[in-house]
Structure 1
Amino acid sequence: MGLTGQLATLVGVALGAVLSMATTMIVEKARWRREQSVRWDERRLSAYAEYAHAVKELAHRYRRIAVAKGIAASGAAPLEPTEEVLAAVAEAEVQRSALAETVWLLGDVETNTAAVRLNHCLWHLEWLARELPTREQGGWDQAYEDFRQARQDFLKLARAGLGVRGTRIAESVPWPPPWRGDLSQATRR
């Protein structure tokens, strides 16, 4: 084997080593990106779920206070706004605020914007339940419907950001359900 043959073999071995190393680097980088994506998706899912639950819990408390004050129609057990109740609601708001910070750190622009809108709707419910003056017309029922829509929008965008396919509910389901009937008539009897 001449010098040319040895040189060709050496170049072939070196080229094979470089290609093998480059392929390994590309595969490892793709694996690392996949692992990072899964890691952040898990954290995003947890942040979105905890935040959505905290918001729903606060809205339910505000609704119960509004029922106790006669601002909202029945549908939830009344909750008298005692000092203890208001302190618990304030603590829940602090927790919601902390969870919102996590959402804003991990979320995409659309989901974060939906979270801000959801906060505004939630605070509107709080103001109405506390009987603070607002510029909005329509009262409790409209504010609660706006809240429900904002929460649905947040969940929809969170699902899209996480790559969850499909919709939350396959078809429109009426609220309140037909089996409830007209509760205003039932409470008058």
Structure 2
Amino acid sequence: MDTSEQLLTIVAVLVGALTTYVTNYWTERQRIRRELLTRWDTKKLESYENYIDRVRAAVYLGVELYEHREGIRVSDDPEPSLRSQLSQATHLRGRAFERVMLLAGDEVVEAAHALNAASLEVDWQAMGKTAGTLDDWRARNRAVFTAINAFHEAARTDLGVSGSVTGETHPNRDLLLPADRSRSFQTGQSQ
């Protein structure tokens, strides 16, 4: 074997080694990137799920307090206890909101802000800080659940989940609330 053949063999070995190194480096880097994305997607999903749970818990406590205060349905808990529970729930919702702010994309952050604003209006009317009729109360609750759906849509997009929770396939659904008792009594209808 002459010198040129030996050099060609050495260059081929070096090119092969370099190609193997670059391929392994790129593959490992892609694997790490996928693992990080999966890890962050898992954290995002957990924070989105926790936030929605906290929003709904506060809304349900707000409903219980409002119905108790308005005499629609008396609670087993006294009003100060309901207020305390709602206050604690709003505190936990705020903490969950902050976690969403740390992990979410722009659309999810905006949807969370809108949801926070809508849920605060429910809290304020439930506690008597904001005046309003039963129709106002229902409109505020509808706004919260519309904002929850908007948050779901933004979160699904952020996580890369296909499909939709609204639109033609999923028609609008209204709140499942009892009729206004004062109207029922005025028109002579029974509950």
Verify same fold: TM over 0.5: yes
Aligned to 1:158: 155
Q: Distance in 1 between the 2:125 and 2:57 partners?
A: 16
Q: Offset at 1:175? A: 2.8
Change (3 A) 1:109 1:173: closer
TM-score by length of 2: 0.84
Q: Distance in 1 between the 2:20 and 2:112 partners?
A: 47
Q: Distance in 2 between the 1:174 and 1:118 partners?
A: 18
Q: Distance in 2 between the 1:89 and 1:176 partners?
A: 21
**Which is bigger in relative contact order (C-alpha 8 A, separation at least 6)?**
1
Aligned to 2:55: 55
Asked whether the 8 Å contact 2:114–2:147 carries over to 1, the reply is yes
Change (3 A) 1:130 1:99: same
Aligned to 1:31: 31
| Percent of residue pairs bearing the same amino acid type | 24
**Aligned counterparts, 1:108-127, within 5 A:** 108-127=105-124
Unaligned runs of 5+ in 2: none
Q: Distance in 2 between the 1:49 and 1:161 partners?
A: 13
Where has structure 1 moved over 3 Å in runs of 4 or more? Answer: 77-81, 180-189
Change (3 A) 1:49 1:78: farther
Asked whether the 8 Å contact 2:83–2:127 carries over to 1, the reply is no
**Aligned counterparts, 1:175-186, within 5 A:** 175-176=174-175, 184=181, 185=184
TM-score by length of 1: 0.85
Aligned to 1:19: 19
Matching residue's letter, 1:172: P
Task: Look up the SS of the partner of 1:165 in the other structure.
Answer: coil
Cα RMSD over matched residues? 2.6
Asked whether the 8 Å contact 2:61–2:82 carries over to 1, the reply is no
Aligned to 1:141: 138
Give the length in aligned residue pairs.
181
